[in-house]
């Protein structure tokens, strides 16, 4: 068993030297278990066979015997291709077409690792520890694309550390709680149309004399910030028959972070006069973000020794994200983007088949709502829409102590469009071709 444990530690070490860039259609990341990916995360709140109950429902940790360790990595490959459909500068300035191409695919491949350890302390108490990335975002376009004034780079990376405890009351009932300690790091950038700003503030004759015309004097803003936040995770689980059938209910609290850092501006020489008041000069910056709470109910019903059915419903309170506001330390007016996101539901169903003592096969389907209300709020930073998951996976028991999971999911995203008005009155109009592929690998060890 010592040899197998050393192998597992090697895998864990490899996973955590990988980049922590996290990518998602919105900025909540479901990919917290390779086993779960194969089900489309149906039944997650009821507890899988790996260590991910630390995240999905700490009450389900009571099912684990002895010590369980799981380390996984998810390769998230998004597609975000934009087709311009008549984007224009501000109507007050003539509404002429925005220059620039559609840009390259804005989706960035992300690597999302996670690690869990669960140890049964005695007949009643079980302890767990999780390290994962529950929120993330990654899109990047060229500096000259048609939507450059609204977004070039958008990146949110998180690392969450969760110590957890569960208590087994007997007769199949257990309760669990965990503390979520989260670090968040973000970067946002976009071009600035100093020509349009100059015409609006100085008038066309003066701006023209300075060589400042719409789309002819672009600058750039880059805002970076980070912060720590905390929340909690509560759950209850109940095994309702002798076959191991069970259900679970989990609540995750909101986490408030105030991302604090710097704003760096690139200003063309002709527009230097626009910085006289301190605006567009390098300064401190901050943005407050409420990462939303969620409630999930999951069930795993074992029909026989070979077949199981799984289901899950999850609600997320995304209406907390009503705006993206960046405050500057140089006296410059806040940058505000109206988001007006709405609450969402996720519905998942899955099936498990134990093909042999060593091999388990699984599949799942999920309908996942997007919180973006309409095309007027679908910015290029997060150009999502409702999506349908189709997922497949397999587990293989390599030795008495070590098992491996491999899963794949494809996310079909509904056709969608944008008609978003930016800070200088420009309107980005066009269609999005969106999709996501996920490949997940995981190694788990059972020790005792």
pLDDT digits (tens, 9 = 90+) for 100-133: 988 777 777 889 999 999 999 999 999 999 999 9
What pLDDT, on a 0 to 100 scale, did the predictor assign at position 26? 60
> Which pLDDT band holds residue 344 (cuts at 50, 70, 90)?
very high
Would you say 413 and 25 are in contact if contact means Cβ atoms under 8 Å apart? yes
Percentage of the chain beyond pLDDT 90 is 87
Residue range 328-344: mean pLDDT, rounded = 95
Closest CA to 274 of 181, 367, 206, 180: 206
Which of 24, 16, 18, 141 is closest to 76 using CA atoms? 24
Instruction: Provide the b/e sequence for 332-345 (b: ≥16 CB within 10 Å).
Output: beebebebebbebe
Using CA atoms, how far residue 85 sits from 97, 146, 374, in Å, is 10, 10, 17
Which tokens is 170 given? 């007997």
Q: Given this model, what pLDDT does residue 316 score?
A: 96
| pLDDT at position 22 over 70 | no
What is the tens place of the pLDDT at every residue in 31-74? Answer: 999 999 999 999 999 999 999 999 999 999 999 999 999 999 99
**Considering just the CA atoms, what is the radius of gyration of the chain in Å?**
24
In this structure, which topology does domain 2-447 adopt according to CATH? Answer: Porin (2.40.160)
For residues 100 and 91, what is the distance between their CA atoms, to the nearest angstrom?
A: 18
Counting beta carbons within 10 angstroms of the beta carbon of residue 325, is it exposed (0 to 12), middle (13 to 18) or buried (19 or more)?
Answer: middle
pTM: 0.92
- Reported as a single tens digit per residue, the pLDDT across 158-184 is 999 999 999 999 999 999 999 999 999
DSSP code at position 28: B
- Name the residue among 340, 339, 360 with its Cα closest to residue 351: 360
Is the CB of residue 268 less than 8 Å from the CB of residue 194?
yes
Residues 6+ apart with CB under 8 A from 209: none
Q: Residue 208 burial (CB < 10 Å; 0-12/13-18/19+)?
A: middle
User: Using 50, 70 and 90 to split pLDDT, how confident is the model at 6?
Assistant: very low
Other residues' Cβ atoms within 10 Å of the Cβ of residue 241: 10
For 75-107, give the DSSP string.
Answer: EEEEEEEEEES--BS-GGGT-PBPPS---S--B
Which pLDDT belongs to residue 44? 98
Is residue 196 within 8 Å of 425, Cβ to Cβ? yes
For 380, residues 6+ apart whose C-beta sits below 8 A from its C-beta are: 82, 106, 139, 141, 147, 150, 151, 154, 418, 420, 428
* Per-residue pLDDT tens digits for 253-298: 999 999 999 999 999 999 998 999 999 999 999 999 999 999 999 9
Least confident of 78-82, 286-290, 366-370: 78-82
Tokens in use for 158? 């998180």
**Is residue 34 helix, strand or coil?**
helix
117's tokens:
């350890």
Domain boundaries, the chain: 2-447
- pLDDT-derived band at 15 (thresholds 50, 70, 90) equals very low
Q: Determine the pLDDT at residue 110.
A: 87
Q: Give exposure, 282-302, as e/b (b: 16+ Cβ within 10 Å).
A: ebebbbebbbbbbebbbbbbb
DSSP category for residue 293: P
Can you give the pLDDT at residue 103?
A: 75
Structure tokens at 104: 């390259």
pLDDT at 104: 72
Closest CA to 370 of 362, 379, 358, 361: 379
Residue 94 Cα distances to 209, 426, 429, angstroms: 19, 11, 16
| Phi, psi for residue 397 in degrees, rounded to 5 | -85, 105
b/e 152-175 (16+ beta carbons within 10 angstroms → b): bbbbbbbbbebebbbbbeeebebb
């Amino acid at each position: 068993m010592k040899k197998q444990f050393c192998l597992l530690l090697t895998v864990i070490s490899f996973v955590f030297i990988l980049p922590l860039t996290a990518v998602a259609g919105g900025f909540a990341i479901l990919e917290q278990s390779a086993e779960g990916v194969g089900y489309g995360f149906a039944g997650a709140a009821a507890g899988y066979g790996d260590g991910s109950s630390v995240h999905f429902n700490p009450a389900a940790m009571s099912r684990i015997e002895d010590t369980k360790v799981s380390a996984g990595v998810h390769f998230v490959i998004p597609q975000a291709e934009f087709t311009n459909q008549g984007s224009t500068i501000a109507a007050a300035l003539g509404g002429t077409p925005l220059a620039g191409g559609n840009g390259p695919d804005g989706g960035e491949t992300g690597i999302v690792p996670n690690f869990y350890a669960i140890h049964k302390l005695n007949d009643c108490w079980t302890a767990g520890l999780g390290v994962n990335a529950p929120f993330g975002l990654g899109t990047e376009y060229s500096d000259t694309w048609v939507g450059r004034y609204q977004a070039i780079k958008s990146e949110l990376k998180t690392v969450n550390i969760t110590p957890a405890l569960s208590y087994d009351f007997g007769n199949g009932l257990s309760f669990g709680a965990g503390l979520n300690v989260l670090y968040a790091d973000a970067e946002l950038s976009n071009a600035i149309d100093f020509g349009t700003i100059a015409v609006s503030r100085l008038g066309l004759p003066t701006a023209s004399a300075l060589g400042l015309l719409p789309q002819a004097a672009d600058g750039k803003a880059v805002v970076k910030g980070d912060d720590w936040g905390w929340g909690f995770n509560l759950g209850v689980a109940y095994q309702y028959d002798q076959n191991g059938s069970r259900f679970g209910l989990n609540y995750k609290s909101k986490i408030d972070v105030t991302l604090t850092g710097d704003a760096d501006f690139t200003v063309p020489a002709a527009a230097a006069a626009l910085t006289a008041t301190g605006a567009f000069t390098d300064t401190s910056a901050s943005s407050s973000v409420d990462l939303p709470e969620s409630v999930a109910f999951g069930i795993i019903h074992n029909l026989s020794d070979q077949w199981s059915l799984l289901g899950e419903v999850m609600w997320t309170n995304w209406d907390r994200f009503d705006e993206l506001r960046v405050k500057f330390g140089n006296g410059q007016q806040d940058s505000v983007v109206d988001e007006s996101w709405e609450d969402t539901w996720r519905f998942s169903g899955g099936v498990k088949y134990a093909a042999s003592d060593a091999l388990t096969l699984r599949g799942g389907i999920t309908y996942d709502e997007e919180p973006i209300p309409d095309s007027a709020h679908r910015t290029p930073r997060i150009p999502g829409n409702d999506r349908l998951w189709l997922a497949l996976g397999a587990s293989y028991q390599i030795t008495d102590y070590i098992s491996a999971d491999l899963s794949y999911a494809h996310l079909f995203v509904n056709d969608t469009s944008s008609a978003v008005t930016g800070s200088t009155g420009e309107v980005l109009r066009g269609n999005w071709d969106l999709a996501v592929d996920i490949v997940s690998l995981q190694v788990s060890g059972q020790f005792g």
